[in-house]
Structure 1
Amino acid sequence: MKWILKFRWPILVLWIVLLAGLLFTAPSMADLVREKGEIKLPDGYPSQLAGELQKKHNPDSDGESYIAVYTAKHKLTEANKKTIEKSLSSIKANKAELHVTNVLDSFDQKELQDKFVSKDGKTIVASLTVDAKETPVKEVRKDLDKKMKVRGVDSYLTGNAVIQEDVVQGSEDGLQKTEGITVVFILVVLFLVFRSVIAPFIPLVTVGISYLTAQSVVAFLVKYLDFPVSTYTQIFMVCIMFGIGTDYCILLMSRFKEEIGDGLSVREAVIRTYRTAGKTVLYSAIAVLVAFVSLYFVQFELYRSAVAVGVGIVILMLGIYTLVPFFMGTLGRVLFWPLNKNIAHKENKFWGGAGKLAFMRPFISLLIVAIVVIPPIVLHQGTESFNSLDEISDSYPSKKRL
C-alpha cells in the first residue's frame, strides 16, 4: 500500500489510458450478444437430437421462418387487401435483395385462406422463408418492414429470429434502466451513510471505471476466445459489481474515517485501513470470485455466461486497491466534507444492541431471521417458463397482441 500511495498519480493516469484504449478498440457487446449470445441446450437433450435429425434428413431446409402480419381494427376492405397483395408482390420481386427464398400467402394459394386470414377478417398473415446468412437480423427486418408498410393497415414481423432480436433489444433496454436505477439508489444510500457531498461519488467512480474496463475485456474474450455470453451477461456484471463494489467501498471508507478520527495521519490511516478492513474485502472477493468462476463448468449456457462476473471481480479489486487509496490519500479529511471537522467514530446503539443480541442469544436471533425469511420462501409460487416471449413486453412488434 505504501508503493500505491507513492505512485498514485501514475497509477491514475495508467487507469485512464487503459480505459480509453479499451473503450475505443473493444468490440461492441451488443453485436457480440446478437452473434453469439443465443442460449443453446447442451448436446443430448431431445430437442437438440431432433434438430440434428432434421438437418440430416432435410439438409436443404436452410433459412428462418418469418411471419408477416397485416392487421386493422376494422374488417379489411378490398382496397386494403389489394395493398397488402401489392406489398407481398414487392417482396417477391425483390427476394434476393431482401434475403427471402420463399413467400407463402393466401393470394396466390386460395386454399390457404382459412389458415392465413382471421375469421373476423381483420388480419392476414403470410409466411416468409429468410436465409440471411451473415446479414444481421436487424438489417433484414428493417428492409422487410419498409416493404410491408401499407396505408390504413398495421404491419408486423414475427418469428423465432425476430423474437430473439427483440429479446436482445429488451435486454439492452433493461440494462440501461438497471444502470440508471443502480446509480440513483447507490447515491441515495451513500449520502445517508456518509452525509457527505464528496464521499458518495468515490464508490461510483471506482466501480464505474472497473465495470467499463471489465466489460471491454469480456468483449475481447468473447470475440477471440469464444467466452460464454448471453443477453444477461451485462446485467449480471452491473448488479454484482455495483452491489459488492459499493459494499466494499463503504467498509473501507468507514474504517478510514475511524482511523482519521483517532488522530492518525492520512497516510497512516490508509495503510492501517487496508491492513485490517482490506483483508476482509479481499477474502470476501475471493469467495465471490470462486463461486462465479465455477459457473464456467456448468452445461447450461445462460449460467455459464455469468462467469464474466469473475473477470469483473478481478478488475474491481484492482480498482478498489488502487483507485480508492488514491482518493483517500489525495483528499484526506476533505473526502467527508462538510462534516469533515468532527469525524470521530461514535458507537451506534442500534447495531451495538443487535450485535450483543446475536452473540448472547443466538437462537433468538435465528428465530427472528426465520420469521422474516421463511414465509416468503413458503408462499412463493413462481412458475418456470421456457418461452422466449415471456422475456419481452407486449410493446415489441414481434409480440404484438392483436
Structure 2
Amino acid sequence: MGHRFPAIVVLGWVLAAAALSLLVTPLGTVVERSSTAFLPEDSPTLQGLRVMDTAFGSGDTQSYVFVVITDDDGLGDGERRVYADLVSTLEDEPERVSEVQDYLGQPQARRSMTSKDGQATYLVVGLRSAVGSPASDEDVKWLRSAVEDLDAPPGTEVHVTGDPAMISDLTTAVNEASLKITAVSLFLLVGILWLVYRRVTTVLVSLVTIGVALLCTRGALAWAGEQGLALSTYTDAFVVAITLGAGTDYCVFLISRFREEYGNGLEPLDAVAEAVSRGGVRCSV
C-alpha cells in the first residue's frame, strides 16, 4: 500500500493525527481524571492499611498525611491555637478527611506526638483518597492551602508531609521537568539531524514524521484511557520522551537505509520500500 500509494498513506496519517488531536480529549486531561493510584489495590501495603484501619481507625481511610508544626523557640499558646484551629478545619471536611489523630481529645497522647525539646508537634490526618490518585493530589493541595490560611504566629512553621504529599510533589516535579526535557530534546533533535544530513528538507521530514507519531500516540492513549485503560500520572511525560527518542532513531536509520539503496540504483519508491522492510517493518509491495 505504502509503495504503490504513498500520497494516500501520508494523507491517512495526517488525518489520523488531526482527528486524534481534535476529537479526543487531551491526554493530560484524561490522565488527571482517570489515572490509577500509585499502588494497586491488592498490594500488601494497602491490604495491611485496610486491616489496621478497620481494627483501629474509621474504616474509610485510604492514606495518611502528617502535619508538622514547629517553632525553634518552643511551642506555646500560639502554636496550640494553630493546632486546635487546624483540627477544627479538618473535622469540617468529612468528604476528604476520614479521621484526625490528635491529642486534643486524648491529652495522654500529647507526649508521644511532641518532640522532647518541645519545638515540634504533629497530627495524623487520614484521607479517603488513595496515594498517587488524582483525588489524593487534590486533597494534598487543599490541605496545604488550609495550612497557609492558618493565622500562625511569627516563627511558627507548618508543613504537610507523608506518602501522599511526597507523591504529589514528585508528580509536580516530573510534569514540570517534562516540559524542559521536551524543549531540550527538540533542540538536540534538530541539532543531531542537521549535523547528520545538513539539509533543511530532510530535517523537516524527520520532524514532521516524529510530530505526527507523537500526536497519534498521545491521542490513541487518551482514547484508550477514556475506554478504561489504566493510565499513570507519568504517562504523558514518558510517552513524549519515548516517542521522541524512538522516532529520532528510526528516522535516522530509515533515511540512511534509503540513501544507501538509492545510491545502489533503486528508484526512490523502491528504495523506501527496501529501507522499511529492512527496518523490521513488513512492507506490502
Q: What's 1:123 paired with? A: 120
Q: Is the 8 A contact 2:30 2:222 kept in 1?
A: yes
| Cα separation, partners in 2 of 1:126 and 1:53, compared to 1, 3 Å | closer
Matches within 5 A, 1:227-246: 227-246=229-248
Q: Aligned with 1:229: secondary structure?
A: coil
Q: What's 1:178 paired with? A: 181
Shift of 1:29: 4.1
Matched, 1:80 2:81: no
- Listed one character per residue, the Cα deviations across residues 172-202 of structure 1 (whole Å, up to 9, x for unaligned) are 2343333233222222211110123343233
- Listed one character per residue, the Cα deviations across residues 20-50 of structure 1 (whole Å, up to 9, x for unaligned) are 32454667243156x3152338x6x755664
Shift of 1:125: 0.9
Q: What's 2:198 paired with? A: 195
| Cα separation, partners in 2 of 1:144 and 1:46, compared to 1, 3 Å | closer
Shift of 1:68: 1.1
RMSD (Å), alpha carbons: 3.7
Shift of 1:17: 3.0
Q: Comparing both structures, which one devotes a greater share of its residues to helix?
A: 1
| Cα separation, partners in 2 of 1:247 and 1:184, compared to 1, 3 Å | same
Q: Is the 8 A contact 2:75 2:119 kept in 1?
A: no
Q: Aligned with 1:7: secondary structure?
A: helix
Q: Is the 8 A contact 2:25 2:222 kept in 1?
A: no
TM-score by length of 1: 0.57
Q: What's 1:7 paired with? A: 8
Matches within 5 A, 1:123-272: 123-132=120-129, 136-149=135-148, 150=150, 151=152, 152=154, 153-224=156-227, 226-257=228-259, 268-269=267-268, 271-272=269-270
Once residues 25 and 181 of structure 1 are traced to their aligned partners in structure 2, the CA distance between those partners, rounded to angstroms, is 23
TM-score by length of 2: 0.76
Shift of 1:57: 6.0
The structure 1 residue matched to 2:92, chosen from 91, 94, 112, is 94
Matched, 1:111 2:108: yes
| Cα separation, partners in 2 of 1:92 and 1:57, compared to 1, 3 Å | closer
Q: What's 1:279 paired with? A: 277
Once residues 134 and 40 of structure 2 are traced to their aligned partners in structure 1, the CA distance between those partners, rounded to angstroms, is 21
| Cα separation, partners in 2 of 1:230 and 1:250, compared to 1, 3 Å | same
Q: Is the 8 A contact 2:98 2:127 kept in 1?
A: yes
Shift of 1:276: 1.6
| Cα separation, partners in 2 of 1:230 and 1:272, compared to 1, 3 Å | same
Letter in 1 for 2:21: A
Q: Aligned with 2:256: secondary structure?
A: helix
Shift of 1:232: 4.4
| Cα separation, partners in 2 of 1:78 and 1:161, compared to 1, 3 Å | same
| Cα separation, partners in 2 of 1:216 and 1:242, compared to 1, 3 Å | same
- Gap regions ≥5 residues in structure 2: none
Letter in 2 for 1:85: Y
Aligned sequence identity (%): 22
Once residues 103 and 47 of structure 2 are traced to their aligned partners in structure 1, the CA distance between those partners, rounded to angstroms, is 34
Once residues 19 and 166 of structure 1 are traced to their aligned partners in structure 2, the CA distance between those partners, rounded to angstroms, is 31
Number of residue equivalences? 276
- Gap regions ≥5 residues in structure 1: 287-316, 322-402
Q: Is the 8 A contact 1:37 1:229 kept in 2?
A: no
